[in-house]
Amino acid sequence: MRSIAAAALPIIWRHTLDGADGDGAPADNIGELWAALRLIRETVEGLAPPGSVPNDKYATPEPMREAEAIIRGIHAIARSASPLS
């Protein structure tokens, strides 16, 4: 169940760990990554059927695991959506 979003995360992660922005701010980038994942999670939770997105209380400190949980919610939204006519 891989997606473009999940495939892109390792690139973001590598960029963050390398401090590739030149100012040595990997910690800031990690904070921004988690803030973005939280915002995306909140939006998906609001749209997905109840129970589709695993509870964030059990989330691990791994961005990839969080992204996978969000992706499951996006899949649930797509499955529950009415077909376009």
Give residue 7's pLDDT: 47
pLDDT digits (tens, 9 = 90+) for 22-75: 555 677 788 899 999 999 999 999 999 998 988 777 666 788 889 999 999 999
Give residue 23's pLDDT: 59
Looking at residue 82, the DSSP 8-state letter turns out to be P
Give the whole-angstrom CA distance, residue 50 versus residue 37: 19
Give the whole-angstrom CA distance, residue 74 versus residue 68: 10
Give the whole-angstrom CA distance, residue 63 versus residue 38: 10
CB-neighbour burial class of residue 70 (10 A; exposed 0-12, middle 13-18, buried 19+): buried
